[in-house]
Structure 1
Amino acid sequence: MTTRGTRLRLAATAVAALAAAALAPGTAHAAPPSNDDFDNATAITLPFTEQVDPREATRAPDDPNSCLHPANGTAWYSFTSTVDTTLALDFHRAYVDTGVYTGTRGALALVPRSCSTGSEIRELDARAGVTYYLSVAANSWSWPFQFTAEVVPQPANDHFAAAETIGALPFTGQVKLAAATVEAGEPTASCDHNPGSPSVWYEYTPVETGSLVLSADAWADHNAVAAVYTGPERTELACVHSHHGILRAEAGRTLHIQFTAANAGADDVVLGLRAAEVLRPALQVSPEGASIHDEVRFDNTSQDPEGYGTSIERLDFGDGTPVVAPDRSYVYHRYAADGDYTARLTVASLGGRTATITKTIPIRTHDVAITGFDVPTAARVDATKPIDVTLANGNYTETVKVTLYRGTATGFQPVTSLTKTIRPNRTTRFPFTYTFTAADLTEGTIVFKATAEPTTRDALPSDNTVIAPATRVRKAAPQGAS
């Protein structure tokens, strides 16, 4: 039996054991960071780097709530500069909440637009003599991360007069816009949805006329804008928003390129300029072996490696008919006479790019026709009768296979065939014979069909098949009868 005194002694022993375990050497326990409280904010001296462990961070009752998740503890930093400057605050892809404040404890004022949640690099625009306080918060389950702060230099090409000269293409320019400024009288690009954002300038003078591809931090989420101007009035030639575009550039005419990115912060943004890929013209013509009876179809199958597609600018059929510029990707045309015609297709795409291709169109009217099909009107079983097929031919020597078919209850079945080479502009006889059978007598009448199949495409195939009138079949003649 355990008495009350025994229970008290056991409890005291357990507490002592826990305390001893907690104080035992070699056992590590996380503690709040040294700058866990506002009064102990770590002063940022440049260049600055620190390992941050947020797992035991806490929150003071008077910590501001404007930028923090309620469950996250904070670490505090302070920064005072003797000159106006811009800092890049990099948490090396850690997901953190940050806010920047001025003032004193209990009366902190949030710096406008300084709240941020995520893993991006932040910027801090610091004015000389002002002390800024940075709160950094992360979930208690976050791993330790590195925090660095460094000055973002003002871009050398911040002003129009100091534009960076682009030499040979392709060109890629990487820049931080956090410390860039806005000049008085700076133009606003037509596709800029955030006018007044700081910008940098580039200039390029083409040595030859051609099409250029301008890329404004394509596919990134920085809201980048690149605008191209020319002349002393800065007339806008092109504007590209967070993607790429094509413009036409004339040899010797300088292009002034304004580059801005409203959401870049202290991230790098990239401007690209290169020569546009040339078009790849292609013309598909159908049908093959066309004749004067065909509506020949011309399809623009050209490709634009830049992905903008092509349109037909001019199409010359090569036979003296008017050149066309259709509003679709194909057009039909009928030639009046046989011959070889040179078709010429010119296609166009964005940036004034054009390309031309020629193609020889052979027009040959091959035409054979069954003009005669002689079958007996009646025949007896076991009798062999002649069947003649007559073909008329057009302008070319043709090789033609003529097949004779016999009609049955299930359709026509081939009987025999004959192949001949026939000369142009004449008729040719294809002679066959057929021996009538008892099976034919059962049918009562037999229907014959003839088909003509030239080795070349026939211009009018409808006259290549003929079905003859039915032949009546009778019993075999009595033995000895003629």
Structure 2
Amino acid sequence: MRALTISAVVALTAVLAPGAAHAAPPSNDDFADATAITSLPFGSVVDTREGTAANDDPSSCSWSTSSVWFRYTAPADGFARMSTDRPDDTKPAISAYTGERGALTWVTDACQQPHGGGSDTFAVKAGTTYHFLLQDTKFAGPVRFGLELVPRSANDDFASAADVPMDTTVAGDTGPATVETGEPKPGCQYPATRSVWFRYTADRARFVSAKVTQRTSLASVAVFRGSALNALTEVDCLHSNYNPAIFAATPGETYYVRVAEGIYGGEQLTLRLTEAPEIKPHAMWVRPAQPGVFDEVKFDVDPGDPAGRWLTSGLVQFGDGTPDAAISDTNGVVTVSHKYAADGEYDVTISGRTADGRSGSTTQKVKVETHDVTVSNVAAPATAKVGDTGQVEVSVSNTRYAEDVVVELLRRRPDGYYNVVGTVRQHVATDSTAVVPFTYTYTADDAARGKATLKARVRLDGRDDNNPADNERTVETTVVAAS
């Protein structure tokens, strides 16, 4: 017996050795030569490196450069699960078909995607022959194909829903499951081919979150109220692997949670019910960042919901005694605008409500401080000759806060653009006008155009001006050639 065991290990090692080369394709390379599976559970190691892909290999699940075939006739109705022993990032695709070559029909729930994922479990019918196609690409090599029968999910039907208490993870498996006749189709869900059921009886009033915990799951989660399969009312449904279904629970009422998947799903998963998170609507952006009385201040309102729901209604109170602004039912960030009449610090309160009934509010401060300087005048000679250097005086007025400013003098070019010809930094006190002097030497180009057009421009040093419309002024000087 020991010698036989050692021989078997050596033989398997030789098959699995990465450096092994094979001159001929595997014996089950072609559909006609599929390895017959006579009993379950079944396991067989095959090396796909010398395999070929036939022109008529089905591509319903995947494609390949090499493939091998197995076949199995089910003696009774049940569920079968396919498997391979490679890591997920190197798995071959596995799919199942019925019929004969040239007229194969894909078993739509049987498609394990290449490199892992997809569905590896499907229903089998007594007397039906199933053809299994293993499809490999650049990761071709030794692989063990397994097939086994698995029991039907205990909570496959509505009547056998599994209890799921709050804050408890409950396991389920959509692979060996079906969709019952008369089972409701939730509004959020893609077509489903299998589902499992859970139930929760509320002990007190609260908002409940129901979520499949596997982040890669493609399952939809739908919540219903009612006591019979043909008399259920949908409460909420979400087809997402990030956000939960949420519902308002009434004490003593039982809620049913349906977890369903389609043809490319079917997996062991877990469902968890928790207290739904509070929402905290807030202005994620206030634009401009330093608003003044000249600005239309825009508040970009985010629901502040960890569960990812948008607001269906709400209010923005601006804190200055003006009427509130309503938040509309929008699938996205809502933008609300407001213009303040006076500088000050205001408490802006944002309240909102989601479609599932949760509500919340936050208050944040918005500082309105208007900074505004003006180019009130530009003085330059009325006429000049080429070569003359003239004095240009720029008057900068300020009525609000003491400001540090940057004053520029620019000359217009023939193409209409301006070049900076002088820059001065200046402090301007509140309720005052600063006169900033520049000099400019007139050129032959000015004379050719008959004039020099100069522009004075002022900007705040270190922040934006809340009223930039009055920050520029131009002046013209007639220029002639030197005599």
After TM superposition, the score normalised by the length of structure 1 is 0.59
For this pair of structures, how many residues does the alignment match?
390
Secondary structure, aligned partner of 1:284: strand
Secondary structure, aligned partner of 1:167: coil
Any residues of structure 2 matched to 1:51-130 within 5 Å, and which? 87-90=78-81, 92=83, 121=121
Against the structure 1 CA distance between its residues 285 and 73, is the aligned structure 2 distance closer, same or farther, given a 3 Å change threshold? closer
Structure 1: gaps spanning 5 or more residues: 1-29, 32-40, 54-71, 80-85, 100-113, 126-131, 477-482
Against the structure 1 CA distance between its residues 122 and 305, is the aligned structure 2 distance closer, same or farther, given a 3 Å change threshold? same
Q: How far does residue 360 in structure 1 lie from its aligned partner after superposition?
A: 2.5
Against the structure 1 CA distance between its residues 253 and 424, is the aligned structure 2 distance closer, same or farther, given a 3 Å change threshold? farther
Hey, what's the Cα distance between the residues in 2 that align with 1:304 and 1:441?
Answer: 63
Match in the other structure for 2:225: 229
Any residues of structure 2 matched to 1:254-333 within 5 Å, and which? 254-257=253-256, 259=258, 270=269, 272-275=271-274, 276=276, 279=279, 281-301=282-302, 304-310=305-311, 313-327=314-328, 329-333=334-338
Secondary structure, aligned partner of 2:289: coil
Match in the other structure for 1:416: 422
Aligned Cα root-mean-square deviation (Å): 5.6
Contact 1:387 1:434 in 2 (8 A): yes
Match in the other structure for 1:396: 401
Any residues of structure 2 matched to 1:67-466 within 5 Å, and which? 87-90=78-81, 92=83, 121=121, 148-149=148-149, 152=151, 155=154, 164-169=162-167, 171-175=169-173, 201-205=198-202, 209-215=206-212, 226-229=222-225, 236-238=233-235, 240=237, 246-250=245-249, 252-257=251-256, 259=258, 270=269, 272-275=271-274, 276=276, 279=279, 281-301=282-302, 304-310=305-311, 313-327=314-328, 329-379=334-384, 386-406=391-411, 409=414, 412-430=418-436, 432=437, 434=439, 439=444, 442-443=447-448, 445-455=451-461, 456-466=463-473
Hey, what's the Cα distance between the residues in 1 that align with 2:344 and 2:183?
Answer: 60
Contact 1:177 1:260 in 2 (8 A): no
Q: Which moved more, 1:292-301 or 1:302-311?
A: 302-311
Secondary structure, aligned partner of 1:470: strand
Hey, what's the Cα distance between the residues in 1 that align with 2:207 and 2:72?
Answer: 56
Task: Please give the per-residue CA displacement for 1:380-409, whole angstroms capped at 9, x wherever unaligned.
Answer: 677665443323211111222333345564
Task: Please give the per-residue CA displacement for 1:131-157, whole angstroms capped at 9, x wherever unaligned.
Answer: x7665666899x99655446x378389
Match in the other structure for 1:109: none
Hey, what's the Cα distance between the residues in 2 that align with 1:381 and 1:348?
Answer: 71
Amino acid at match of 1:228: F
Task: Please give the per-residue CA displacement for 1:107-162, whole angstroms capped at 9, x wherever unaligned.
Answer: xxxxxxx999878645579xxxxxx7665666899x99655446x378389785x7
Against the structure 1 CA distance between its residues 278 and 464, is the aligned structure 2 distance closer, same or farther, given a 3 Å change threshold? same
Secondary structure, aligned partner of 2:326: coil
Amino acid at match of 2:393: D
Task: Please give the per-residue CA displacement for 1:345-388, whole angstroms capped at 9, x wherever unaligned.
Answer: 23444433445343332222222223333323345677665443
Match in the other structure for 1:10: none
Against the structure 1 CA distance between its residues 282 and 134, is the aligned structure 2 distance closer, same or farther, given a 3 Å change threshold? same
Hey, what's the Cα distance between the residues in 1 that align with 2:179 and 2:375?
Answer: 87
After TM superposition, the score normalised by the length of structure 2 is 0.59
Secondary structure, aligned partner of 1:325: strand
Task: Please give the per-residue CA displacement for 1:64-110, whole angstroms capped at 9, x wherever unaligned.
Answer: xxxxxxxx99876757xxxxxx75445657755679xxxxxxxxxxx
Hey, what's the Cα distance between the residues in 2 that align with 1:182 and 1:315?
Answer: 47
Amino acid at match of 1:317: F
Against the structure 1 CA distance between its residues 472 and 169, is the aligned structure 2 distance closer, same or farther, given a 3 Å change threshold? same
Against the structure 1 CA distance between its residues 270 and 405, is the aligned structure 2 distance closer, same or farther, given a 3 Å change threshold? closer
Hey, what's the Cα distance between the residues in 1 that align with 2:438 and 2:176?
Answer: 97
Structure 2: gaps spanning 5 or more residues: 1-25, 28-36, 46-68, 85-93, 100-106, 113-119, 136-142
Amino acid at match of 1:173: A
Against the structure 1 CA distance between its residues 177 and 239, is the aligned structure 2 distance closer, same or farther, given a 3 Å change threshold? farther
Hey, what's the Cα distance between the residues in 2 that align with 1:117 and 1:279?
Answer: 41
Hey, what's the Cα distance between the residues in 1 that align with 2:175 and 2:445?
Answer: 96
Contact 1:177 1:199 in 2 (8 A): no
Match in the other structure for 1:11: none
Against the structure 1 CA distance between its residues 311 and 75, is the aligned structure 2 distance closer, same or farther, given a 3 Å change threshold? closer
Secondary structure, aligned partner of 1:419: strand
Against the structure 1 CA distance between its residues 76 and 208, is the aligned structure 2 distance closer, same or farther, given a 3 Å change threshold? closer
Against the structure 1 CA distance between its residues 172 and 74, is the aligned structure 2 distance closer, same or farther, given a 3 Å change threshold? closer
Amino acid at match of 1:210: F
Hey, what's the Cα distance between the residues in 2 that align with 1:368 and 1:138?
Answer: 79
Task: Please give the per-residue CA displacement for 1:170-219, whole angstroms capped at 9, x wherever unaligned.
Answer: 52331579799989xx9967669999x99755224365622413559998
Hey, what's the Cα distance between the residues in 2 that align with 1:212 and 1:302?
Answer: 17
Against the structure 1 CA distance between its residues 171 and 441, is the aligned structure 2 distance closer, same or farther, given a 3 Å change threshold? closer
Task: Please give the per-residue CA displacement for 1:217-265, whole angstroms capped at 9, x wherever unaligned.
Answer: 998799x88543268998635264876762323364443326486989x
Among the aligned pairs, what percent are the same residue? 18
Contact 1:283 1:359 in 2 (8 A): no
Contact 1:381 1:475 in 2 (8 A): yes
Against the structure 1 CA distance between its residues 389 and 340, is the aligned structure 2 distance closer, same or farther, given a 3 Å change threshold? same
